[in-house]
Chain A
Amino acid sequence: MSERRKFDFRKQHFVGEEGKLIPLLQRAQETDGYLSRQRIEEIHRQSGIPLAQIYGVATFYAQFRFSPVGKNLVRVCHGTACHVSGAKEITQAMESELGIATGETTADGLFTLEMVSCLGCCSLAPVIMVNSTTHGNLSEKEVRKILKTYRAAGAGEVQ
């Protein structure tokens, strides 16, 4: 309940401004980790934007999620440079290490594995991003090692 209180859209900078919907959804996802039905209805009530329109916009953009994510969000880059440098092999190694497919979250809620189109670190290909830390020049062995350090730490940033 306290979390709900903290999130008041009327205090958000973007309310009342043109083009506010996407920033509103972005802030909501930043707070909750995903867009819950409840939160979307709240945005609808406070902004007056029709629900259908909110869902139309939210489902259009790859950034928005509709289910909770694990404590560590692992994004595997599948850009051109990463593709030719072995992104597929790295993905397979991570899927087998975590026991999930891309797009899923581990049963212990520690990891969510996602693929992204390009992280823009092409010279360090293949690259992954865990939370907001980028790891580059990876091999199958190294990604397994990285996942182990995050698993040991539980959550948060690991250097």
Chain B
Amino acid sequence: MEVLVGLGTCGIAAGAEHTFRALESKLGGDGPRFALSKTGCIGMCYREPLVEIRHDDGIRYQYGGVSADRVDRLVAEHLGEGRVIEDWLVWSDDGRGSERAYFTNQTRIVLRNCGKINPEAFEDYLAAGGYQALQKVLAAGDPEGLIATITDSGLRGRGGAGFLTGMKWRFTRLAAGSRKFVICNADEGDPGAFMDRSVLESDPHAVLEGMAIAAFAIGAREGYIYVRAEYPKAIERLNIAIAQAEARGFLGDRILGTDFGLHIKLKEGAGAFVCGEETALIGSIEGKRGMPRVRPPFPAVKGLWDCPTSINNVETFANVPWIVLNGAAAFAAMGTANSKGTKVFAMAGKVVRGGLVEVPMGISIREIVFEVCGGIKDGKKFKAVQMGGPSGGCIPAELQNTVIDYESINKTGAIMGSGGLVVMDETTCMVDVARFFLDFTQRESCGKCTFCRVGTKRMLEVLTRITEGKGKEGDIELLEQLASLVKNTSLCGLGQTAPNPVLTTLKYFRSEYEAHIINRKCPAHRCQALLSYTINAKCTGCTVCARVCPTKCISGEVKKPHVIDQSKCIHCGECHKACRFAAIAVD
């Protein structure tokens, strides 16, 4: 029997390394015999640490929440006595487990190997059919045909903009110049998105293989992976994978005995969101400030060191080997008229099952939130989903039947983006959310375009004063005016999309803005300055609130109802948190 522990960043944060070590100490002891290995992230972040037991006949049992102190029982009962622990089982090949729905509603192409293979074992990737696509492409020796296959599959860039990958490759191939580059954009900067991190940590060879195929198609011999420095585990595993592939002749000179060669280097980002924009990313690799430049010329014509360059996202590359092996038609069979294949989403926020899910295009937001991910946490009411990070927008619950498709999402005012999907419930204040994103884009603006640099700052100031209860009549109109100016006068995607979170919340939640400005109330009870606390009849006079109050504005006798002096109250909420009788009302 084999035991696998999921050791992605999420798993490690939940204590998977302790679980691994506890299992390790059981190896070679008097107890049951088993083999132990690591794997990546299966996507079920909400049940980490995850341990899989693989029987010799191939049947797999996945256990969730296996902290180190549960290892003894797991080893004794399942490995020793062969008894499945139903309470911890999340999923198994023989159709058992509490979380089956999470997987049965998914279609896994990009995540095909994630959580199944050991990302540090080259043989695991080969055994899973790895590098067969590269072999097929090199044996055929037909770059034009390869580009046609990718174009026919309808694969669009998964980084957010959704440009046809095959077209990008064709432009780069046709561009004049003998030195060309292929770049993998792994600068996943959207707060709320972690798909690329998971793929790089769990299946790094799939990305390398995709890059090698792209390099062959466009005629590049040098490649870069631009990865965030905040992802140490991804960097570590990519370095291991590159060394393994070079040692075995899948990267380097004369790959698999052909004339084709590719050298891949890793560049660590230095913490600038704007470097996810392709021309800024190129500037950063060149060792400059990462500031976008005017396009055209597009990187396909004039990119890194002025050479033709094709930049694709991690998820895009991970799709490529599958398309080569299974054919364009199989990929194009999934999805809608203009959006083919699958999309990986990073589910986070107020959702029951948070983690990575890969679903076919064309599925609705409702199906993702409720059927795949189990609905809203703690029985609260679904309010909105935020898609596309700081460049995207909030889609309200009323539009939950919107399908996942580049064009349908754009129609709502949000964007597909890279795949961060943050679920919000009734306790989320939409003005606060808009302020949060503006705070982010305002800090990350590179400063090149005036309206992006100054306009986002002014918008942030307006939003901040609204959340602080100092909003003025005319603020909403001012926000709308600034939004359109920033959108229309910015050079790159960052500025052009920065107002989206404000515009979408204004479009769907205008009454919340008005409540803040006119009534001086925050309907979601999030904006501290707008809250008022009062003590109701449930008060037993236990004096706890009076003791925790930092301004000593609560008074009353023991065992008699207390009173808050509103003139001194600073709305800190300490009394509300401390009260054990729900006697403090918030409005």
Contact = CB atoms under 8 A, between A and B. Distances in A.
A pairs with B: yes
Interface in B450-489: none
B246 interface: no
A22 B18 contact: no
B192 A122 contact: yes
A155 B45 CA distance: 29
A60 B284 CA distance: 10
Interface stretch (B53-61, B157-165, B267-275, B563-571): B267-275
Interface residues of B, number: 57
B14 A120 contact: no
B271 A120 contact: no
A18 to B, nearest CB: 7
A83 interface: yes
Interface string B519-533: 000000000000000
Contacts of B287: 18-22, 57
A118 B190 contact: yes
A136 B16 CA distance: 12
A123 B230 contact: no
Contact of B422 (A22, A62, A81, A134): A81
Interface string B15-52: 00110000000000000000000000000011010000
A44 interface: no
Q: Which of B229, B287, B350, B354 has the most CB of A within 10 A?
A: B287
B498 to A, nearest CB: 14
B272 A122 contact: no
A80 B348 CA distance: 9
B347 A64 contact: no
A22 B284 CA distance: 8
Interface string B168-210: 0000000000000000000011111110010000000000000
B286 A18 contact: yes
A85 interface: yes
Contacts of B189: 117-118
Given A80-B422, A83-B436, A127-B13, A120 B348 contact: no
B229 A63 contact: yes
B314 interface: no
A119 B271 CA distance: 11
Nearest to B573: A89
B493 to A, nearest CB: 17
Nearest to A118: B191
A121 B10 contact: yes
B424 A63 contact: no
Q: Which of A23, A79, A125 has the most CB of B within 10 A?
A: A79
Interface string B250-278: 00000000000000000111111100000
A79 B191 contact: yes
Nearest to A136: B13
A116 B189 CA distance: 11
Contacts of A120: 9, 188, 193-194, 197, 230-231
B270 A22 contact: yes
Contact of B440 (A21, A25, A117): A117
Q: Which of B232, B271, B285 has the most CB of A within 10 A?
A: B271
B428 interface: yes
A84 B435 CA distance: 12
Interface size class on chain A is: 35 or more
A64 B269 CA distance: 11
Given A19-B285, A120-B193, A84 B422 contact: yes
B487 to A, nearest CB: 21
A159 interface: yes
A60 B420 contact: no
Interface string B278-314: 0000001111111100000000000001000000000
A122 B354 contact: yes
A134 B12 contact: yes
Contacts of B193: 118, 120, 122
B389 interface: yes
A7 B384 CA distance: 52
Nearest to A92: B572
B166 interface: no
B45 A123 contact: yes
Given A22-B284, A61-B271, A118 B192 contact: yes
B268 A26 contact: yes
Nearest to A64: B270
Q: Which of A62, A81, A124, A125 has the most CB of B within 10 A?
A: A81
A53 B191 CA distance: 30
A119 B12 CA distance: 13
B344 interface: no
Interface in A6-20: 18-20
Given A117-B191, A118-B192, A122-B194, A57 B9 contact: no
B396 interface: no
Nearest to A59: B289
Contact of A23 (B9, B46, B268): B268
Nearest to A53: B288
Contacts of B422: 80-81, 84, 122
Given A61-B290, A62-B272, A83-B436, A123 B191 contact: no
B433 interface: yes
Contact of A122 (B229, B270, B348, B440): B348
Contacts of B229: 26, 63
B360 interface: no
A80 B436 contact: yes
Contact of B420 (A122, A125, A159): A122
Nearest to B190: A118
B270 A63 contact: yes
Nearest to B230: A119
B137 interface: no
12 contacts: A22-B270, A22-B284, A60-B446, A79-B191, A79-B192, A80-B349, A120-B9, A121-B194, A122-B346, A122-B354, A134-B9, A136-B14
Given A56-B289, A118-B190, A118-B192, 13 more contacts: A19-B286, A22-B287, A26-B268, A80-B192, A80-B389, A80-B420, A81-B192, A81-B354, A118-B189, A118-B193, A119-B230, A120-B9, A134-B9
- For the complex of A and B, list the 5 residue pairs with the smallest distance between their C-beta atoms, beginning with the closest: A123-B45, A122-B348, A79-B191, A62-B271, A61-B270
Interface of B: 9-10, 12-14, 17-18, 45-46, 48, 188-194, 197, 229-232, 267-273, 284-291, 305, 346-350, 354-355, 386, 389, 420, 422, 424, 428, 433, 436-437, 440, 444, 446
